[in-house]
């Protein structure tokens, strides 16, 4: 059985995941305003993915008979000076989310909540992919620098994300 402490922590993670979705949607809006359609596409897809993560936890809590309690989201940042700055913020945010997932996994372990610990393993693995993906884009953007042709090429590449 899931403790109230774990229930509260999972509800908080729903908020974290929804904020992630909101943040990436804000990045997409910023990119669209600058006519970076590929970067915007990548961020929109990331936003949808983060929303899916929130819903996965939402469904888990409901499935184990616990009440989901949604809390107010903070307003995300809305302007970035460059694609690099936005993706660096995305990477910092993914590291933050990784730390939050690790805290949840540790809590589940400490409480001997094996069902939740098992459930959270998917998120632990997912965060490895999330950080790696954001890191790869940041590294490419650092390499490209201000070369417009490189930025256009990467924008086109990221526009192909399904």
Average pLDDT rounded to a whole number, residues 25-52? 98
Over residues 76-135, the pLDDT tens digits come to 999 999 999 999 999 999 999 999 999 999 999 999 999 999 999 999 999 999 999 999
* 53 annotated ligand binder: yes
Burial 49-80 (b: 16+ CB within 10 A, else e): ebbebbeebbebbeebebeeeeeeeeebeeeb
Average pLDDT rounded to a whole number, residues 17-35? 98
Inform me whether the pLDDT recorded for 63 exceeds 90: yes
Contacts of 159 (CB under 8 A, 6+ apart): 37, 38, 41, 42
pLDDT of residue 22: 98
pLDDT of residue 27: 98
Whole-structure pTM value? 0.96
pLDDT of residue 99: 98
Give 88-94 contacts, CB < 8 A, sequence gap 24+. 88/138, 89/23, 89/27, 90/23, 90/24, 90/27, 90/43, 90/46, 90/134, 90/137, 91/131, 91/134, 91/135, 91/138, 93/20, 93/23, 94/127, 94/130, 94/131, 94/134
* 50 annotated ligand binder: yes
- What's 103-126 look like in SS3? HHHHHHHHCCCHHHHHHHHHHHHH
Distance CA 61, CA 64 (A): 5
Residue 116's domain is classified under what CATH number? 1.20.1260.10
pLDDT of residue 111: 97
* 17 annotated ligand binder: yes
Query: Domain residues for 80?
Result: 4-158
Distance CA 129, CA 111 (A): 27
As a whole-number percent, the residues of the chain with pLDDT over 70 amount to: 100
Q: How many domains does the chain have?
A: 1
pLDDT of residue 1: 82
140 pLDDT band, cuts 50/70/90, is very high
């Amino acid at each position: 059985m899931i403790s109230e402490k774990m229930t509260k922590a999972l509800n908080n993670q729903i908020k974290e995941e929804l904020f992630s979705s909101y943040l990436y949607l804000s990045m997409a809006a910023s990119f669209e305003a600058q006519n970076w359609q590929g970067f915007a596409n990548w961020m929109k897809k990331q936003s949808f993915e983060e929303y899916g993560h929130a819903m996965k936890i939402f469904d888990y809590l409901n499935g184990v008979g616990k009440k989901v309690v949604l809390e107010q989201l903070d307003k995300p940042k809305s302007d970035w000076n460059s694609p690099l700055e936005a993706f660096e913020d995305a990477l910092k945010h993914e590291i933050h989310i990784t730390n939050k997932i690790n805290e949840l996994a540790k809590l589940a372990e400490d409480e001997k909540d094996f069902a939740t610990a098992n459930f959270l393993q998917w998120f632990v693995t997912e965060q490895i992919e999330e950080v790696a993906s954001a890191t790869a884009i940041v590294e490419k953007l650092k390499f490209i620098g201000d070369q417009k042709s490189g930025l256009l090429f990467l924008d086109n590449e990221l526009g192909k994300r399904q």
